[in-house]
Amino acid sequence: MYAGRDMTELSMMAKSDWEDSELAFFHHSLQQIAPYLNSEGQTIHREIIEEIESRGGIKH
């Protein structure tokens, strides 16, 4: 179970300051509801994906 910072706190930070686990969790969560995201949600998800890619992907 995820026990990190919530989206309210993270939204006030640059994606580059997020932990890998936070990026992975919110990417997975937003991926699950992607068909229902509005344009703001889609933008946040795209930024998360771009940050994950810039770090070389998700390490398992």
In this prediction, residue 59 carries a pLDDT of 81
What gap in Å lies between CA 1 and CA 49, rounded to an integer? 21
- Residue 41: C-alpha distances to residues 1, 31, 47, 59 (Å): 22, 11, 10, 24
In this prediction, residue 20 carries a pLDDT of 95
What gap in Å lies between CA 37 and CA 42, rounded to an integer? 6
Per-position pLDDT tens, the chain of length 60: 788 999 999 999 999 999 999 999 999 999 999 999 999 999 999 999 999 999 999 887
